[in-house]
Structure 1
Amino acid sequence: MTSRSSAVLAALAAALLSSSAFAETTLTVYTSVEAVDLDRYKQTFEAANPDIKINWVRDSTGVMTAKLLAEKDNPQADVVWGVAATSLLLLKGEGMLEPYAPAGVEKLDPKFVDQATPPSWVGMDAYVAALCYNTVEAEKLGLTPPKSWADLTKPEYKGHVVMPNPNSSGTGFLDVSAWLQIMGEEAAWKYMDALHENIAAYTHSGSKPCKMAAAGETVIGVSFEFPGAKAKQGGAPIDIIFPSEGSGWEAEATAIIAGTANLEAAKKLVDWSISKEANEMYNVGYAVVAYPGVAKPVEHLPADVAAKMIKNDFEWAANNRAKILAEWAKRYDGKSEPKS
């Protein structure tokens, strides 16, 4: 072999080794996390794991849940990250999740961890039902701020309330599920009948009602605390109200899709998702996170948001989800916005 041939072979070998060393795994990650936050999560994780790239596929919780179920026999996702725990319980029941106990899971608040051993999902943070109330528009109309869920049925609010559709929005589902748990089935449906009279529209996004209130497009947006704090920080004339009966809530959670070809990379993402660093990032917008002792007060939100959360039965909500959604659609879907 000539010295030139040896040099060429050596160069090829070096190139192959180099490309192997920098080979990247791309994880397809289905998420319902607010789009504004995805870049910072991606950048932080990829900086610590340069051999793994995240390809986000984002939609609202209800849409994402339906998409995952439709793909059951031909999964397209590697990881579900930041989707409602009740949705992940549905997937678990269909045998679609890969059980995995991420490093450090024992440090999390137990209510943010699947009860099975090993767990099929782990929580990140909680989004908590809240009302976004436009003080300027309310004053123009001579309205007084509501203090409770019951107040939303008062005649003065007719046409001035917007809330999410629970079939497409996890926020909408946590509201309906919470009312059923707080009030009991018969009283809750009677309440929703009365509330429906005051509803201007049901949106397909949990944050949209709050954004509409912030923009003066409605007076009351039934939403959750994160977009409220964001809008108020941006100067919107809104108050964030936690109803006196207690607020429904949902855990944003993470799981590995069973059968993924990228299992080791998926485990690294789930490990990172429950880390103290990740929880500190969640706390930028969410007042309640899975890692105890991490959460600091969020600007424009009360320090005791966790105390306003009802005792939420995720298993009951997941097991009754289809029945609840069908009944809700039969009664109220006529006021839903057109789907985009």
Structure 2
Amino acid sequence: MTLNLKKTLLAAAVALTTTGAQAATELTVYTALEADQLKSYAKAFESANPDIKIRWVRDSTGIITARLLAEKDNPQADAILGVAATSLLVLKNQQMLQPYTPKGVDALSGQFVDKDEVPSWVGMDAWVASICFNRIEAKKHDLPMPTNWKDLTKPVYQGHVVMPNPNSSGTGYLDVASWLQTFGEEQGWAFMDDLHQNIDRYTHSGSKPCKMAASGETPIGISFAYRGAKLINQGAPIDLAFPSEGLGWDMEAAAIVKGTDKMAAAGKLMDWAVSRDANRLYNDNYAVVAMPGVAKPVPNYPADIAERMIDNDFEWAAVNRARILKEWQQRYDGKSEAKN
């Protein structure tokens, strides 16, 4: 082999190695996205950014939040995608998020963007509380359709209600935080004391109670509206109830973890998270998304959902999160299902 040929082959090998290294750039992203959502999001991002490979670490909102807080002094994640904004506010208050202005963020609704000049987080979509009511199972037990939250404390519903555990589920926490805001703390805890008497179990997933109602495992599941609408559209024998006192809500959000040594790749993830293409994907799973004009009407999902949503104090919910979760666990955790 000639010297020139050797040099050519060596140069080619170096080029391939360099390209491979760039393609293998790995970004560790913590997420609470549902497994069926994550697949399409991951495919879309990596198709648009072939030089980045994401290592997804997925769990429920409460578990991901607790893990991030435990890793505060030795962060293991580079970025966060699809975790409740109330959790990201907790992390922000702990100085754990890296401010970054994504390209195109001005196209989002203002309520979906951190108010700082350089935002520490950006919202993706919003999910809203509702009750999934299986009309077939309800008829077997002679259960009326509830019209407000306090209906669920009536003796007729004893053992027929399933809801998410707020320590592990973002949906569970938005329920608890919204009840405390709507009723006031004293009456809010009294309401949950009465509700607890009728709870069959607390799940570790926000969508599971609605899925259980859809499959007939329970007549009533406290969950979120979009999941219920999707199940109805798939033929499930459930109706959605929207309690008259108002509906709690939260938004999924994205952020960069302070201290990452992969800032360029994390920035690309944030740029993608606020893009129109990403918002179209969010609309496959949620009716309310961050970018105006993107969301399409959803069958069996109320067009006036925004009017039913409470005036949620996200800062209060974040600041009081640890205290509320501790109190809830002491009172009610005995009915939580075992963790997998």
**Fold match (TM-score > 0.5):** yes
TM bucket (normalised to shorter chain) is over 0.9
Q: Select the residue among 7, 10, 30 that pairs with 2:8.
A: 10
Distance 1:17 1:144 in 2: 69
Cα displacement (A) at 1:327: 1.1
Cα displacement (A) at 1:107: 1.6
Partners of 1:149 and 1:244 within 8 A in 2: yes
Aligned residues: 338
Cα displacement (A) at 1:47: 1.0
Cα displacement (A) at 1:58: 0.6
In the other structure, the counterpart of 2:157 is: 157
CA offset digits 1:172-224 (Å, max 9, x no partner): 10001001111111111111111111111111111111111111111110011
CA offset digits 1:300-321 (Å, max 9, x no partner): 2122222221111111000001
- 1:312 match: secondary structure: coil
- 1:76 match: secondary structure: coil
Cα displacement (A) at 1:279: 0.7
In the other structure, the counterpart of 1:323 is: 323
Distance 1:155 1:8 in 2: 84
Distance 1:90 1:180 in 2: 18
CA offset digits 1:31-63 (Å, max 9, x no partner): 001110111111111111111111111100001
The alignment status of 1:217 with 2:231, answered yes or no, reads: no
In the other structure, the counterpart of 2:27 is: 27
Cα displacement (A) at 1:230: 2.7
Partners of 1:288 and 1:305 within 8 A in 2: no
In the other structure, the counterpart of 1:50 is: 50
Question: What stretches of structure 2 of length at least 5 have no aligned partner?
Answer: none
Cα displacement (A) at 1:227: 2.1
1:133-152 mapped onto 2 (5 Å cutoff): 133-152=133-152
Letter in 1 for 2:96: M
- 1:292 match: secondary structure: coil
Cα displacement (A) at 1:236: 1.3
Cα displacement (A) at 1:21: 3.2
Distance 1:285 1:265 in 2: 25
1:143-292 mapped onto 2 (5 Å cutoff): 143-292=143-292
In the other structure, the counterpart of 2:40 is: 40
The alignment status of 1:119 with 2:123, answered yes or no, reads: no
Partners of 2:37 and 2:285 within 8 A in 1: no
Which stretch shifts more, 8-17 or 115-124? Answer: 8-17
Identical counterparts, % of pairs: 62
Distance 1:285 1:258 in 2: 29
Which stretch shifts more, 81-90 or 297-306? Answer: 297-306
Distance 2:310 2:17 in 1: 52
1:74-85 mapped onto 2 (5 Å cutoff): 74-85=74-85
Q: Deviation above 6 Å: which 4+ runs of structure 1?
A: none
Partners of 1:229 and 1:285 within 8 A in 2: no
CA RMSD of aligned residues (A): 1.2
> How high is the TM-score relative to the length of structure 2?
0.97
- 1:191 match: secondary structure: helix
- 2:69 match: secondary structure: helix
Distance 1:53 1:225 in 2: 33
Partners of 1:283 and 1:298 within 8 A in 2: no
CA offset digits 1:137-168 (Å, max 9, x no partner): 01111111111111111111111001011111
In the other structure, the counterpart of 2:60 is: 60
CA offset digits 1:96-154 (Å, max 9, x no partner): 11000111112211111112121110000001111111011011111111111111111
